Structure 1
């Protein structure tokens, strides 16, 4: 029975992969795909223990007419196709194959390249699997100590929940109950990371669907989870992170935190791409101080880096080239409020003491290890990616806050203070690295820090240009005629702050050796905001 099931599953895998029609009744394939998990349920949604069946007793399956009448492959067929593979199979590998098939079949059922009858057959199989409580079995597998099984169960569960949401316009009750109980039960509950993986995967599937009207289906998914997700945000981030559990990225506590950061990133993407606004999509902006405190704590560097890159995506969310998203940002008061709240919190927290608490990594990561190739003198001793991201977060926060300030006095002092700290922060890392660059004045620092990342460089340059124009406009509004001394003071302040746009652009031209072909590449490329930067009034 065990060998026969393996052979049938392998044949099903080939048929699904090729997209050919399935010849047998749906019940037959349901029996093949039904997971043999011994489960003890508490209520209907959680699993206290999970056992894989042993090879000695074979894999117990739900017997039906299709399975009992199944044609066992001939000896020749078995020897030609499966003999070398089947003998090495164990129950774990059979289960992995079942999980792979479930995910594959969901993808095929959504593909327009597959015949309608075949897609309908897949849908019938999924209905029968749901009737056999496949969702409860997958939830039990999430708690498996076998990480590969747990991961595959998460992906298969996400595929089935998404498919049911799309086809039946309803959220899987078993999964929803499990998610609510798991998230609200933190930190006692032990399945946090697995629950977050599944939710993140479902959101990503919705965002990838080009046909689906994503906003409505995403609201149906997230609305029941909205309050509990905000509560979970408070619980997991408002925490003392000096514990040794967070100093390694492989600990369960760190894994929970990393999984939650991935979910926040998916929620940010859903907010940027869809006209939908729930509290769980706003919480990162409204309570960003929790994230800033976590970045300066003793958690592992990987967690800090992921959070800094997430903040970078937040401040760039309104800078996307998509005109629809930009108009949505300008027209929606809550988006404006959230960016203002984030910018204010960043500027209140960021000072030289806080910046110096953020380590930038002593060594860069290389393919195959963390050691540089002998004789390679081009790498610095700091993580340039994080340095640029952190700098861009501060600059974009300054831009947004100052664009919404009414008077020159509200801007000038704070701007000079923040830029002085940022310049000191840049200098401390670049001067301590293996490659130390001489500079003439502060306006060179922008191109020096960002020259290796074109898109970030022009975002940073545009932020400084907008701040400069705002200051200049307010200065001329305050006094029609400025004295020579006032002009000299203004010029000194702008140069000292490193934001004179003429110097910044000339410094960039110098870095590219005044190569016109490089400028042409920037002009025709859609990967940076260079054209928008040049067109800034």
Structure 2
């Protein structure tokens, strides 16, 4: 009872930005996790609620929320039961750790308060071994506890990277073991989510030297990430594991797609991208095969939208550099490899194997808005993304071809593959000599949609 009362007071002080008056060891002892306690607790314990975390705590899955006023917060604490199980104590500890890391990175907090938080983090990592305890909480046994542990672990790994220019050894060992041991008993989805969160947090930081931090973070994982890419998309892939969109295998794959997206965004920060930042381009055939397989539609859609980001990536990189950079050569090679692979499958029956008649999703409801087609129809988001991928692949192929025969061959191949695909029918039946062929192609495509 005493510990939860002290944690509640600490929560209110951190939320309000009030300096912590006692010595750092006092607060680190309050935040020390007791992982030897049962993680699940009893049924009544699972039904209790924690006060909401502060806005801007760095969560990548929570939406913006209104921070409660001090009086409302006090009433929230007062209404909670006087008896707390170990799980509730742990949930509050994890929430506090995540909040304090966000506060320590905020310039709106006084420097003395931020320094106090940093001292507490050092004690948690060096003396309390909090990173090891957070790793032990990851897994499917308690999804809420695991999710908060992932957030806290990502926050601490990012803190050490930024403040100490050091990579957390415990987290690195856990990540290597999870990726190398796939498919095993290690919670690989939590591993992937934590790495993705650290990459995104690094990219968001406006003052951090991103290139050095990303290289320190990704270099030890470079070869292992490529091996995991091969395993989850090719060697160990079995469509029978993906019969449900809620299965563990589906969760792992979706988490990996999110990581691939973060790696794609991060390659702009390095002059010479690492192999794990290029593997999506160089081995895109694995993804193309999965898109036409029997995996759940949600995975197909995420992969197609990821391909769209790949074909649009070149223009963003060129816009940032303003001129030809050292990254132009590997980028040109990567986009050309992706374009060749896309055009190769398009020349077959790949497009016709992709379902586009899934029921549409609506914000806040499963019913269409007034005036919308109640039958749903084709998924326009996927339809347009596929169109853009094919057009951009063909554009890049033509712009990087020197022989007229090769250009005509590319057009004929693509046209043959899409002749029965209503979205792109007749789009590519254009004269190669047309100086503005891309614009004309897009106009033709838009007419088809109307």
State the TM bucket, normalised to the shorter chain.
Answer: 0.7 to 0.9
SS state at 1:198 partner? helix
1:197 aligns with 2:193: yes
Match of 2:257 in 1: 261
Match of 1:126 in 2: 121
Match of 1:116 in 2: 111
Tell me: CA distance 1:195–1:359, structure 2 relative to 1, closer, same or farther (3 Å).
Answer: same
Where does 1:11-410 land on structure 2 (aligned, <5 Å)? 11-38=9-36, 51=39, 82-87=77-82, 89-130=84-125, 131-239=127-235, 241=237, 243-320=239-316, 323-325=319-321, 327=323, 332-351=328-347, 353-372=349-368, 376-377=372-373, 380-410=376-406
* Residue deviations 1:295-334 (CA, integer Å, cap 9, x gap): 1111100011000000110000012286234635675311
SS state at 2:391 partner? helix
* Residue deviations 1:56-82 (CA, integer Å, cap 9, x gap): 9xxxxxxxxxxxxxxxxxxxxxx9884
Distance 1:167 1:85 in 2: 37
Note the aligned Cα RMSD (angstroms).
3.1
Tell me: CA distance 1:177–1:240, structure 2 relative to 1, closer, same or farther (3 Å).
Answer: closer
Distance 1:506 1:262 in 2: 33
Distance 2:154 2:248 in 1: 21
Q: TM-score, normalised by structure 2?
A: 0.85
Gaps of 5+ in 1: 40-49, 57-78, 429-440, 444-463, 474-493, 513-537
Distance 2:419 2:399 in 1: 21
Structure 1 stretch displaced more, 96-105 or 405-414: 405-414
* Residue deviations 1:325-370 (CA, integer Å, cap 9, x gap): 4635675311111111111111112235111111113321123444
Distance 2:259 2:155 in 1: 16
Q: Is the 8 A contact 1:54 1:91 kept in 2?
A: no
Distance 1:361 1:387 in 2: 10
SS state at 1:318 partner? helix
Q: TM-score, normalised by structure 1?
A: 0.72
Structure 1 stretch displaced more, 15-24 or 236-245: 236-245
Gaps of 5+ in 2: 45-73
Structure 1 stretch displaced more, 314-323 or 264-273: 314-323
* Residue deviations 1:144-182 (CA, integer Å, cap 9, x gap): 511111111001000001101111111001111111111
Cα distance, 1:126 vs. partner? 0.4
Tell me: CA distance 1:401–1:28, structure 2 relative to 1, closer, same or farther (3 Å).
Answer: same
Cα distance, 1:52 vs. partner? 5.6
Match of 2:51 in 1: none
Distance 1:81 1:255 in 2: 34
Structure 1 stretch displaced more, 103-112 or 266-275: 266-275
Distance 1:508 1:285 in 2: 28
Q: Is the 8 A contact 1:318 1:326 kept in 2?
A: no
Q: Is the 8 A contact 1:329 1:335 kept in 2?
A: no
Q: Is the 8 A contact 1:7 1:82 kept in 2?
A: no
SS state at 1:317 partner? helix
For this pair of structures, how many residues does the alignment match? Answer: 420
* Residue deviations 1:434-460 (CA, integer Å, cap 9, x gap): xxxxxxx946xxxxxxxxxxxxxxxxx
* Residue deviations 1:97-155 (CA, integer Å, cap 9, x gap): 11111011001111111111111100110011012100010001112511111111001
SS state at 2:280 partner? helix
Match of 2:8 in 1: 10
Larger radius of gyration: 1
Q: Is the 8 A contact 2:132 2:170 kept in 1?
A: yes
Distance 1:81 1:356 in 2: 55
